[in-house]
Structure formats: C-alpha cells, structure tokens
Amino acid sequence: MSAILSREAYEKLRQELHELKTKGRQNMAAAIQEAREKGDLSENAEYDAAKEAQGLMEMKINELEGLLSSAKVLEASQIDTSRVQPLTWVKIKNCKTGAVMKYNMVSEKEADVKLGKISMTSPIGAGLMNKKIGDVVDVTVPSGSIQLEVLEITAE
C-alpha cells in the first residue's frame, strides 16, 4: 500500500534520502576504513560495529526509496473536505468532557501529536476516517472508550 504524503513530508523524506546516500555513505566508508586500519579484522569490534551500522543505513535507504517511489503526494487543492480523509484537518469535540481538539490526518511517517498531526491508522485517526461533520464516533483508546463529534473539516 502506498503512503499518502503532503508535499512537505515528501520533500523532507527525499532530502533525508539524499543526505544518507551522499554524506551518510561517505561518513560510513570513512568509519569502516578507519576501523580497518586498526588491525586484525577478526577481532576488531569497531570494524564489526561500523559494518553493522552500514547495513542498517542501507536498509534505511532502501526503505525510503521504496516509500518515495510508491508515495502519493496530495496538494491542499486536491482534498475533498466533505468527509475526514488523508491530509484533512478535523476539529472534534470530546462528548464527555467538552474538550475541542484539532488534528491533521497524516501517514504514520508524518505523525507528530505536538504539531497536531495524528496518524490515520491510530485509534482516533482510524475512527474518524470517512466521517462527516456532525457524525459522532466511539473510539477505543488505551484509557478506554471515548465519544467524539466531528465539528469541522478543512484542508488548511
């Protein structure tokens, strides 16, 4: 399944991939060369650690390449605000406490609760997907069940 990303998130991931493929690989090669110069490779913990770090970095590069190649980038003008969907902003009210919150529905890669960005696959995100203004939804969260009412949907 391809990820749905905002232009901003796509560009951020593309930049991270570029950094890993250029500076990251250069730094890793230098670390391996330095460890190699310290003698017998069969007993060289620094060399083993550098090679393991290189493997992890290459896995990250492959993961980012796969994500970016299959990602769907949505612009604000393409977003239908008649229902909660990827990249919409949704204002909700906790029916029990009356607390009002506003969240941006994003992919797991973009999620950052401090910035008001919640994953579409999180309990609240999944519960709100495809809901319309006025809909009330019961969402099961770690602390129990909460009732949320959709107040507003925008594509800021």
| SS3 state of residue 23 | helix
Q: Where are the domains of the chain?
A: 4-74, 76-154
When pLDDT is averaged across residues 91-115 and rounded to a whole number, the result is 93
When pLDDT is averaged across residues 124-143 and rounded to a whole number, the result is 94
What band does 38 get if pLDDT is binned at 50, 70 and 90? confident
Give the Cα separation of 53 and 27 in Å (integer). 11
pLDDT at residue 21 greater than cutoff 60: yes
What band does 43 get if pLDDT is binned at 50, 70 and 90? confident
pLDDT at residue 99 greater than cutoff 80: yes
Per the CB < 8 A criterion, the answer to whether 104 and 91 are in contact is no
**pLDDT tens, position by position, 49-87:** 888 999 999 999 999 999 999 988 888 778 889 999 999
Report the candidate in 156, 137, 155 with the shortest Cα–Cα distance to residue 147. 137
Give the Cα separation of 133 and 136 in Å (integer). 9
Return the CATH class of domain 76-154: alpha beta
pTM of the full predicted structure? 0.70
pLDDT at residue 9 greater than cutoff 80: yes
Q: Which CATH architecture has domain 4-74?
A: Orthogonal Bundle (1.10)
Report the candidate in 83, 137, 98, 111 with the shortest Cα–Cα distance to residue 9. 111
Give the Cα separation of 155 and 104 in Å (integer). 9
112 pairs with which residues across the strands?
A: 117
When pLDDT is averaged across residues 100-127 and rounded to a whole number, the result is 92
What band does 35 get if pLDDT is binned at 50, 70 and 90? confident
**Percent of the chain, pLDDT > 90?**
63
Domains 4-74 and 76-154 share a fold: no
